[in-house]
Structure 1
Amino acid sequence: MVVTGSRAEYGLQANLLRMVEADPDLELQLVVTGTHLSPAHGTTEREIQADGIPVAARVDLAQRGDGAQDIAGAIATGIAGFSAVFCRLAPDIVVILGDRFEMLCPAIAAVPASLPVAHIAGGQLTEGTMDDVIRHSLTKMSHLHFTSTETYGKRIVQLGEEPGRVFVVGSLGLDAILNDPRPDRMEFERATGIVLDRRALMVTFHPATLDRVPSECQIEEILAALERRSDVRVIFTMPNADPENNLIRERISAFVSRHSDRASCHESLGRRLYLGALSLVDGVVGNSSSGLIEAPSFGIGTVNVGARQQGRLRPASVVDCAPEREAIAEAIDRILSSGFRASIRGLKNPFGDGHAAERILAVLRSCPLDRLAAKRFHDVDFQLDEAFGKVNP
């Protein structure tokens, strides 16, 4: 069983889903949840239907708002929903990806059901958002771990997971970039209505739930920096369903209304058009992981705003800046400069080689599932005085 809860994470898993479905020894049970089922977020289940991948079940989280109580209630609803799905479909293993709160639902429901869980993209750090604690919690509830880099794999072992259950496979995000065909400029413009008549920036800003600077203030600063760039076309993709996402949406929509001649916003471009956009724009602005993981493969720079991605590995194409309009404007100038573009030409993406799905599939096919549910805590040797400091100096 593979769970998908958002447009971004489905795009990452698409190649893996196709491989599982095509394997004669495996049966795919795809469960759709989260914003895929939300009209406010574009009902992106339609992208799955367009790909022809069958859906085995749907779990509606019934999330009505973006406050803390709304999200806690959605998680509770989802746990009950996934428990019912597990009873009905009886999967052998549950595959989840990432660090979104939606993934807590199948992971928690799997514990009393004694179902093994395989977790993709653990071990990373994003200290400016609640996703960090969710990601590490998912690691502790999982039995197989597929990481994008060796550093992330070591961190999972540091969390007490057995080294033999940790597999460094690379990032699924690079699989589609390196292997799937993308639309050319003409097809992209025709499909989206976006005319690339000048330099363009892709902007994605998600709620920074643990940043000291409120998300509302950060998006205002980003938009103020973009106000000055009448020479640049701005393509916004809307934020995820975290707290304060509605405030961000309102600010973006107002900006697009004021600058309809050079700005547009999109709930979901879909994976193919999104990657097509990255291949055509001149840079990325915001705080999305895509700017750090996927954008480097296209030879474009990323302006990473604020602390949301703090702790994540950074390629040389990423320019960090404070959530202040002057700093953001300077960073935009930098990534658009010919010198910077030349400096990152031919940059090797540290997150993989485009074969992550193949490696994950090989493990899922060969691993004896009947032995997975029981785990041992793997202790890591270290000196207490070095780790915690001496009590009596």
Structure 2
Amino acid sequence: MMRKVAVFTGTRAEYGLLYPLIARLKASPDFELQLIVSGTHLSPRFGETWRAIEQDGFAIDAKVEMLLASDTACGVAKSMGLGTLGFADALDRLRPDYLVVLGDRYEALAVAQAAAVMRIPIAHLHGGEVTEGAYDDSIRHAITKLSHFHFVACEQYRQRVIQLGEQPDSVWNVGALGLENIRNAPRVPLERINEDFGLKLSSPFFLVTYHPVTAADESPSETFHNVLTALDAFPEHQVLFTYPNSDNGGDQIIQMIEQHVAKRSGVAWAVASLGMTRYLSAVEASACVIGNSSSGIIEVPSLGVPAVNVGVRQKGRLSAESVIHVGTSATDIRSGIEQALTEEAIVLAQSACNPYGGGATSERIVDVLLSAGRLGAKVFYDIPGAGTGAH
């Protein structure tokens, strides 16, 4: 009997990573794909990226509005509550056999907690990772504890999920799903990107994405001001900004981007969302990627481009040698960019080994779901010799 698999997406970046899995599920005769779309996808401020999902040929089975206008911590918490209400209705109507959730966003926690209460088995991607500079770190581990299937990006993360009490035979090291896009997604010429977004980019240029830090002693506005100051030290380079996520403090970052772009007309541009294929293409055409996005850690190393990771948001996440980690001062950021532009860094980026693999991730996930039998209650896994009173 055909099984129904609901895939949740709440942000443009998450959808881009999920694309190969969504496409494989849609093409499979063994599964009925259901898409639940929420978060920034439905927001005009973030580009209404649900339209791109439909343009890719996917039907959206449920749209769940959840974002409030406020980007304060209280506003984000209330958005989670609204999301849970909407997800409960959507899941009750769709009645999926499995729910696929990727990552560590608060939107994902909202849908996961609804699914757990409704006894819908959750397949979680990218568990076991550590990002000490964002409350996403706690959210990721919480989703792990709500989930039955765990698809992690490397062996170190597999061991961490097991350490959290998950049965070893429920945790699969399948690599990072986003690297499948790098292998298979078509590339878009820079001229086409310019045409699509009204830009005038030419090499060399920097691609910049900075997200607010939400769980560490780092001022997002101060750090981003220092990023902008550092960029001004490279007048020969154009700059393309993409918007941050809808975290608390994100609106201020967007305002700072828009003010900077207005002051540097013809040199700097901002795009709410490039989309997956245009983003990968822009990375390949750039001199380096700057900011604190997970893409700089996980995907960019496989594109042969140096990445400058700013501050503590991604602290604790495994990274390739081509990723340059810097502090938050303008001097530190400028030094990191200077290093990324050296011949040594460029050569290293083109040969660096990405610890997140790069195989047939979506195929492996689908195979596991296909072979899954009836799931019973979760049983906590105690690591032998740990937590049992043994000495």
Scaled to the shorter chain, the TM-score interval is over 0.9
Contact 2:212 / 2:250 at 8 angstroms: preserved in 1? yes
Farther off after superposition, 352-361 or 284-293: 352-361
Contact 1:282–1:336 (CA under 8 A) maintained in structure 2: yes
Q: CA deviation at 1:127?
A: 0.3
> After the TM superposition, which residues 159-308 of structure 1 pair with which residues of structure 2 at under 5 Å, given as runs?
159-308=164-313
Q: 1:126 maps to which residue?
A: 131
Q: Which residue of 2 aligns with 1:338?
A: 343
1: CA distance, partners of 2:202 / 2:151: 41
Alignment of 1:27-176 (within 5 A): 27-176=32-181
- Give CA-to-partner distance per residue, 1:180-220, whole Å, 9 cap, x none: 11112333333333333341111000011122121011101
Q: Evaluate the alpha carbon distance shift between residue 64 and residue 185 of structure 1 in structure 2; reply closer, same or farther with a 3 A threshold.
A: closer
The structural deviation recorded for 1:174 is 0.4
Residues 1:20 and 2:20 are matched in the alignment: no
**Matches of 1:142 and 1:197, distance apart in 2:** 45
Counterpart residue type for residue 380 of structure 1: I
1:374 counterpart (373, 377, 380): 377
Q: 1:181 to 1:66 in 2, by over 3 A?
A: same
Amino acid at match of 2:333: I
- 1:236-281 residue CA offsets vs partner (Å, 9 max, x unmatched): 0000000100111111111111111210001001111111101110
Cα deviation, 1:286-331, whole Å, max 9, x if unaligned, reads 0000001111011111111100000000100111111000111011
**CA positional deviation for 1:383:** 6.0
* Of 351, 364, 383, the match for 2:369: 364
Note if contact 2:319-2:354 (Cα within 8 Å) is conserved in structure 1.
Answer: no
Contact 1:207 1:242 in 2 (8 A): yes
Q: CA deviation at 1:339?
A: 2.0
Q: Aligned to 1:303, what secondary structure does the other structure show?
A: strand
The Cα offsets for residues 77-119 of structure 1, whole Å up to 9 and x where unpaired, read as 1111111112111111111000000011111111221111110
In structure 2, relative to structure 1, the CA distance for the partners of 1:62 and 1:205 (3 Å cut) is: closer
The one-letter amino acid paired with 2:263 is R
Which secondary structure state, in structure 2, belongs to the residue aligned with residue 345 of structure 1? helix
State the distance in 1 between where 2:255 and 2:315 align.
26
Structure 1 match to 2:3: none
> Quick one: distance in 2 between partners of 1:164 and 1:217?
45
Q: 1:44 to 1:127 in 2, by over 3 A?
A: same
2-side partners of 1:198 and 1:97: how far apart? 33
Instruction: Measure the CA separation in 1 of the matches of 2:363 and 2:114.
Output: 28
Q: Deviations over 1:120-148 (max 9, x none)?
A: 11000000000000000000000000001
**Structure 1 stretch 68-77 or stretch 187-196: which is displaced more?**
187-196
Structure 1 position 349, deviation (Å): 1.6
CA distance in 2, matches of 1:342, 1:117: 41
Determine if contact 1:128/1:211 at 8 Å carries over to the other structure. yes
C-alpha distance in structure 2 between counterparts of 1:62 and 1:266, whole Å:
20
Bigger CA drift: 354-363 or 276-285? 354-363
Q: Distance in 2 between matches of 1:256 and 1:117?
A: 42
Task: State how many pairs are aligned.
Answer: 386
After superposing on structure 2, the runs of 4+ consecutive aligned residues of structure 1 that deviate more than 6 Å are none
Q: Quick check: 1:179–1:354 contact (8 Å CA) kept in 2?
A: no
Question: Equivalents in 1 of 2:281, 2:238: separation in Å?
Answer: 16
Distance 1:240 1:382 in 2: 41
Q: Is 1:349 aligned to residue 354 of structure 2? A: yes
Which deviates further from its counterpart, 317-326 or 374-383? Answer: 374-383
Cα offset for 1:353?
Answer: 1.6
Q: Secondary structure at the match of 1:260?
A: coil
> So what's the TM-score if we normalise by structure 1?
0.95
Aligned residue number for residue 317 of structure 1: 322
Letter in 2 for 1:282: A
What is the rounded CA distance, in whole Å, between the counterparts of 2:335 and 2:200 in structure 1?
Answer: 26
2-structure distance, mates of 1:343, 1:106: 40
Distance in 2 between the 1:316 and 1:250 partners? 33
State the alpha-carbon separation in 2 of the partners of residues 142 and 293 from structure 1.
23
Distance across 1 between alignment mates of 2:191 and 2:222: 37
| SS at structure 1 position matched to 2:241 | strand
Query: How far apart, in 1, do the equivalents of 2:334 and 2:385 lie?
Result: 45
Q: Which runs of 5+ in 1 are unaligned?
A: none
CA separation of 1:334 and 1:382: change in aligned 2, threshold 3 A:
farther
CA RMSD of aligned residues (A): 1.7
CA contact (8 A) 2:207 2:290 kept: yes
